[in-house]
Amino acid sequence: MLGRDKDSIKFMVRGISAAFSNALRRAMIAEVPTMAVEDVMIVENSSVLYDEMLSHRLGLIPLTTDLDSYMLPEECGCKSELGCNKCRATLSLESEAIEESKYVYSGELKAENPEIKPVSDTIPIAKLAPGQKIRLEAYARLGRGIEHAKWQPVSSAAYKYLPKLSIDQKKCSGCEECAKFCPKSILTVKNGKVLIEREIDCTLCRECERHCPQKPPLIRVGWDDQIFIFSVESTGVLPPERIVKEATKILTKKAAEMRRCLEKTK
């Protein structure tokens, strides 16, 4: 692991191909299940928003996900269109502006299960004028990003080759031109020499090569195509480590299914 904070993780993987790296990235984006509002029952809505627009906004609010307590509707034994407590979570909202106008925020959504709640309490849903009111029930279920973007667990999932930079120090005059144009500021000049710092942060843009006054350039940007650096940023619905683990499980399951299909064909 190269770095970790609340909602993002950066790690390195060795000995895999670009095809596998991309499959893992796509699995994290489109295959890992998360919870999102799918159905809304409007009891009262006197705001300026149409019911459909209000429902759409609720569907796009990221919800914390409990993959251990809930299952996908198609895998649930209830086989009900309305769902059950194993495949559906209920949230309610009741908000009214009395004497002054007010904003309705995601924090006002009351969850039946405290494990399923908005990631942030400050997401605006609507603005109510005095006398306007919203009462509704929202029903959330697990889904995948391949169905709709509201079920994507990540805001960003990317990978790159491990950067490898080299400088011909014998010929380099330390003019600083390459360092000026490096967007990540990984090049510094000390004692008349250009030095490489935090090589791993290089984006492989090659701006340093393009702006080197010597031709061919004295600084060369390369990479190791057997080592990949992943950067994953969660929307907050799941911890980033869980997203990576679930994506790996999904790929393993698909590979096993492919093997079974091939064996049947033989």
Q: Label residue 266 by pLDDT band (50, 70, 90).
A: low
**Structure confidence at residue 264 as a pLDDT band (50, 70, 90):** confident
Residues of the chain with CATH 3.30.1360.10: 3-29+155-231
Written out in words, the top-level CATH class of the domain with range 3-29+155-231 is alpha beta
Instruction: Tell me the per-residue pLDDT of 206-225, one tens digit each, with 9 for 90 and over.
Output: 999 898 888 888 899 999 99
What does residue 147 show for φ and ψ, rounded to 5 degrees? -85, -45
| Residue spans in the chain of domains classed CATH 2.170.120.12 | 35-150
Residue 140: how many other CB atoms lie within 10 Å: 29
Domain spanning 35-150: CATH superfamily: DNA-directed RNA polymerase, insert domain (2.170.120.12)
pLDDT in tens, 162-182: 999 999 888 888 788 888 889
Question: What distance, in Å, lies between the first and last C-alpha atoms of the chain?
Answer: 41
CB contact burial 104-114 (16+ within 10 A = b; e otherwise) = bbbeebebebe
∠ CA 245-247-253, nearest 5°, is 105
CA atoms in the 13 A half-sphere facing the CB of 222: 11
CA distance 210 to 202: 15
